[in-house]
Amino acid sequence: MKIVKFLTVLLLMCLLPLQYVLAEEKSKVKSFQDLCKKDLDFVRLQLQKNSAPYANKTDQHFHKWYKDGYEYSLKLIDGIGDKDDCHYVMKYFINGFDQSHISIRGYIPLPTEMYPGIMSAKNGDGHYIFYKHPALEYLKNVSVGDRVTHINDIKIEEYDADYLRPFYANDDSELTLVSASVYALIIDGNRFKPDPKTVTIIHDNKPVTIELKYTELSGKALVSVKKLRQPEVNESFKVEMVSNGVWIKIPSFFPTRKESVYFTGMLSVLKKDLAKEDYILFDMRGNRGGAIKWSVPIIRNLWGDNYIKTLGEKHDYNKQWIKKLRVSKENFGEFQTIYGPVASKAYAASLKKGDNFFIKKWSIYEDEENLYTNDDSAPFKAKVYVLTDSFCRSTCWNFVKELEQIPGVVHLGGPTAVQGIYSYAKKDRAPSEHFDVFYPTQIRVKPESKLGEALVPLHVYEGNSKDEAKVLDWVLSIIEKDLS
């Protein structure tokens, strides 16, 4: 009997620490959930108070997701198990708006990404293996180019729609969808996405199902996936002489202070020196936009305002430009840093009246930031080309469209991203300080030509746009034919 009592006491002594640990773990999870809900409510409030889409009552998709997406996200919060899970809850909520200008940038470390030695990505209507580790024996029945049909016996199209796009794609452009699809065979700590246990592929015209084994995503595999997920970040503004012509690389219209010196230097000699060569090519690969103060002067200085005016309504510079700026106390400070006292006074009056938007109207020819003379409309020798890839959006998209409106300019490369009506993202830090949220504060009203479209080049490059040697040969072959 004494032994039984002793064992009972011993068992209770063992259970008490376990109960304490479980209670402590439950308390931690509850705190993660509470903090995530606080962040989610903060993001919704900022969108409500300061974003352009919220004040745009015609944007039915935004308003529907603002309500429904919040309810769905609250259900995800109930499934949070650790600190980084909120990252994917917020991605889910943000991505549901399908807007490239609504996004988050996280600051907490996420789990190490793991992969099974192969990776796939969307290409057209299918998903294909684009990388295979050369030394893994268990992948002997897999080849680069094999089509993926199922993950965990789930059709890849369903897996993509249900688990990849909601967490990894914040708009529906082809570039974004491809970047999201890369996560099909990557384990990255996303609790809300089923980890791939098996993959079924079509190899040598036969279905093959493979049980997956995981290792850290690193080395050549990581390099390969980064090329699909994001543009190269090591490019800078550059002017080069290539085969009797001028190759001008503009990876961003947000130049660094050092780059701005070279940029203005290029503008100073663009018409009188560079345009004497056989051609000028503006290389926009990797350019995601920036400020029009850097894009507009290129066209105005090269062709001259008088010539552009002869194009009439065929060119956007001859139209009135209108945008709506979301009126709010939080947006007013930034407005004051951009616009003068007269506009700021008008904005303040709109704020006092409770207006949703401040209407900004202007003409390109009233732009006082043009950096060099725009009076010279004399013809020049150089034929003008513009080279793009799928990263081109925002100010890059506008610049390419404005170049296409000038007779004789040739567009080369890959189609641009699709351009929406929203612009000028504002940034706020979440209460947890785990991420920044970005959202648009402006609506493009006019010119509205080609909004909602990708700009498709006259000559489309089907290869890897980052393969410099092949791109150079391809571009020069077209230019040589044009100039011969």
Of the candidates 318, 292, 293, 294, the one whose C-alpha atom is nearest the C-alpha of residue 305 is 318
The number of C-alpha atoms within 13 Å of 426 and in the hemisphere containing its C-beta is: 22
Residue 212: what pLDDT? Answer: 96
CA 480, 482, 484: angle at the middle one, nearest 5?
Answer: 65
Rounded-to-integer distance, Cα 360 and Cα 325, Å: 7
Q: End-to-end CA distance of the chain, in Å?
A: 106
Same domain, 269 and 291: yes
Residue 227: what pLDDT? Answer: 79
Of the candidates 221, 203, 225, the one whose C-alpha atom is nearest the C-alpha of residue 149 is 203
Same domain, 258 and 223: no
β 435-446/321-326 pair status: antiparallel
| Number of other CB atoms surrounding residue 363 within 10 Å | 11
Biggest CA-to-CA distance, the chain: 110
One digit per residue, pLDDT tens: the chain, 484 residues?
A: 556 665 566 566 665 565 554 555 566 768 889 999 999 999 999 999 999 999 999 999 999 999 999 999 999 999 998 888 999 999 999 999 998 889 999 998 889 999 999 999 998 889 999 999 999 999 999 999 999 999 999 999 999 999 999 999 988 888 789 999 999 999 999 999 999 999 999 999 999 999 999 999 999 999 888 877 765 555 789 999 998 999 999 999 989 889 999 999 999 999 999 999 999 999 999 898 888 899 999 999 999 999 999 999 999 999 999 999 999 999 998 888 888 898 899 999 999 999 999 999 989 988 777 788 788 899 999 999 999 998 898 899 999 999 999 999 999 999 998 888 898 889 999 999 999 999 999 998 999 888 888 899 999 998 878 788 999 999 999 999 999 8
Please answer whether residues 300 and 370 qualify as being in contact, where contact means their C-beta atoms are separated by less than 8 angstroms: yes
50: its two tokens: 């300061």
Same domain, 82 and 144: no
Rounded-to-integer distance, Cα 190 and Cα 84, Å: 8
The residues pairing with 201 across neighbouring beta strands, listed in sequence order, are: 148, 208
Q: 11 lies in a domain?
A: no
The residues pairing with 88 across neighbouring beta strands, listed in sequence order, are: none
Q: 121 lies in a domain?
A: yes
Residue 394: what pLDDT? Answer: 87
The residues pairing with 415 across neighbouring beta strands, listed in sequence order, are: none
Same domain, 218 and 273: no
Same domain, 317 and 444: yes
How many domains, the chain?
Answer: 3
Residue 100 DSSP one-character state: T
Please answer whether residues 458 and 126 qualify as being in contact, where contact means their C-beta atoms are separated by less than 8 angstroms: no
Distances (CA, A) of 386 to 159, 247, 429, 445, 460: 38, 10, 37, 26, 12
What b-and-e string marks burial along 417-452, b requiring 16 or more CB atoms within 10 Å of the CB? bbbbbbbbbbebebebebbebbbbbbbbbebeebee
CATH of the domain at 101: 1.20.920.70
Q: 6 lies in a domain?
A: no
Residue 276: what pLDDT? Answer: 95
Q: 184 lies in a domain?
A: yes
Of the candidates 411, 420, 373, the one whose C-alpha atom is nearest the C-alpha of residue 389 is 411
Same domain, 398 and 464: yes
What b-and-e string marks burial along 388-408, b requiring 16 or more CB atoms within 10 Å of the CB? bbbbbbbbbbbbbbbbbbbee
Q: 4 lies in a domain?
A: no
Same domain, 33 and 127: no
Residue 5: what pLDDT? Answer: 65
Same domain, 205 and 92: no
Q: 17 lies in a domain?
A: no
The residues pairing with 150 across neighbouring beta strands, listed in sequence order, are: 155, 200
Residue 173: what pLDDT? Answer: 80
Domain limits for position 49: 28-106
Which H helix or E strand runs over 107? none
